[in-house]
Amino acid sequence: MQLKFILPTFTLKRFFLFLRPVLCTFLWLTSCHKSPVKTLVIISPHWDGIKREFSRAFSSWHERNYHERIEIDWRDVGGASDSLKYVISRFGTEAKGIGIDIFFGGGIDPFLELTREGLTEVYHPPKSVMTGIPAEVAGLPVYDPEYHWFGAALSSFGIVANDRVLRAVHLPEVKKWADLTNPLLQTWIGVGDPRNSGAVHLMYEIILQGYGWMKGWEILYQIAGNVRSFEKNSSLVAKEATYGNIAYAMTIDFYGLTQVSSAGTQNMHFILPEDYTIVSPDGICMLKGAPNQTYAKRFIDFVLSENGQKLWILPVGHPEGPAYFPIERLCVRPDLYDQACDIWTITMNPFKIQTTLKYDANIASRRWKLLNSFIGATMIDVHPELVAAWKNSKDNPGRRAEFSKIFLTENEALEILDTFNNKDAVQFRNAKNIEWQQMAQTKFRRLAQ
């Protein structure tokens, strides 16, 4: 007897129908072992390239070291001044916390203000993280001695110039802040609005502290007479110089060096003014009532560590550097400058800069609001009248002196400082703004005639 075996027709469709429940079970079991994504909330005036690079690098570092995935929820409300005003305003109604973990970027002054207002959380990073970070640079603290805030990077401030425009229009090379008062430069200077940008505010403060109150304001008013326009977004100022719309831009080193790198050193150059300059920490802190303190502390650890600091200084494409966006900032670890000297596009070591300016960070922070209001009321909001007065005064020594004279002495400013800084003194600040603006308009209109 011959036996016949009948094999079932096992089509591809039947195979997948058989495999589907097995595959679904496998995927379900795998997902059970995956950690949920955690979120860290950061408010920052940094540009998108910095945010994306630190998001990518921190997430990878955190998953590698702690086996958890982290996503960063970036909050952007404008520049450093805008971010500071936003945070303080939110804490005015939500005293225990505002749902934001970290304030990241904006110089040093916002962090001194946040500390003074009691809006930071003290954090002591591990010794392994802090080793190698000096306490000071050029006379300024790199981090708070009570550990309320830390310098995440360093910044310097200067002037970027378009050499092709200088040659075409026969404009002089500038080497000092005071050189920007030259009447030949009228309409050829660009600068941001200090009410929106902490970096711009700091440049005004450097001039005031370097030259003194009276002489400093004289220089600032004459520079304002030469300014083409005050840009709300300070990053646009350096780009305007690259485009040739202006010849000189007062800017932070990062924006200036980025444009020099883009246009070429044969077309543009960036200088640190010979009269006065500083190297200032660009801070980071954990905010009061941070909802995700464990992850906030780890983010600060990462930013201060070699892994985070190399993101600032290494070029795009380097295994330990940024992947997509050039950052090119000064880091807070002196040893990294020697390590990166052969591949880094910036040759300046901020820890070797000699400066004659004894910068007072505390007084700068205390008068932050007052200076912003005074500059806004007497320079920016009345800029058309100011420019008309400067045109009619710049070549006459008597009118030029009257144009440049400040009508608020340093002692008068100090007398109203505590009242001006009081968060409930809104009416007082508004009244002062109106008073200053009217006084400036009256003077400038008279000189324009």
Task: Determine the Cα angle at 204 with ends 202 and 205, to 5°.
Answer: 60
- Phi and psi at 260, nearest 5°, equal -65, -45
Q: Which of 18-22, 253-257, 258-262, 380-384 comes out lowest in average pLDDT?
A: 18-22
- Find out whether 248 and 190 touch, Cβ atoms under 8 Å: yes
Cα dihedral across residues 423, 427, 430, 434: positive or negative: negative
Is residue 246 over pLDDT 90? Answer: yes
pLDDT band for position 327 (50/70/90)? confident
Query: Pairing state of beta strands 268-271 and 150-162?
Result: antiparallel
Reference 207, options 160, 168, 159; nearest CA is: 159
Question: What is the structure's pLDDT at 137?
Answer: 87
Question: What is the structure's pLDDT at 404?
Answer: 95
Reference 251, options 218, 206, 211, 184; nearest CA is: 206
- Distance CA(227)–CA(193), nearest Å, equals 12
Question: What is the structure's pLDDT at 341?
Answer: 64
Average pLDDT, the chain: 89
pLDDT tens readout for residues 178-203: 999 999 999 999 999 999 888 899 99
Cα dihedral across residues 381, 385, 389, 391: positive or negative: positive
- What region does 99 belong to: left with phi over 0, alpha with psi -120 to 50, or beta? left
Which amino acid makes up residue 372? N
Stated pTM of the model: 0.77
Question: What is the structure's pLDDT at 225?
Answer: 97
Question: What is the structure's pLDDT at 138?
Answer: 78
Which amino acid makes up residue 352? K
pLDDT band for position 262 (50/70/90)? confident
Please determine whether the domains at 37-151+280-350 and 152-276+356-446 fall in the same fold group of CATH.
Answer: yes
pLDDT tens readout for residues 48-96: 999 999 999 999 999 999 999 999 999 999 888 889 999 999 999 998 9
Integer angstrom CA distances of residue 298 from 141, 295, 302? 22, 5, 6
- Distance CA(193)–CA(231), nearest Å, equals 6
CATH code given to domain 152-276+356-446: 3.40.190.10
Local structure of residue 143 (DSSP, 8 states): B
Query: Which of 20-24, 338-342, 405-409 reaches the highest mean pLDDT?
Result: 405-409
Q: Which of 17-31, 201-215, 322-336 comes out lowest in average pLDDT?
A: 17-31
**Ranges of each domain in the chain:** 37-151+280-350, 152-276+356-446
Side-chain-facing half-sphere of 24: CA atoms under 13 Å: 6
Reference 430, options 377, 383, 379; nearest CA is: 377
Mean pLDDT to the nearest integer, 394-410: 94
- What is 37-151+280-350's CATH superfamily? Periplasmic binding protein-like II (3.40.190.10)
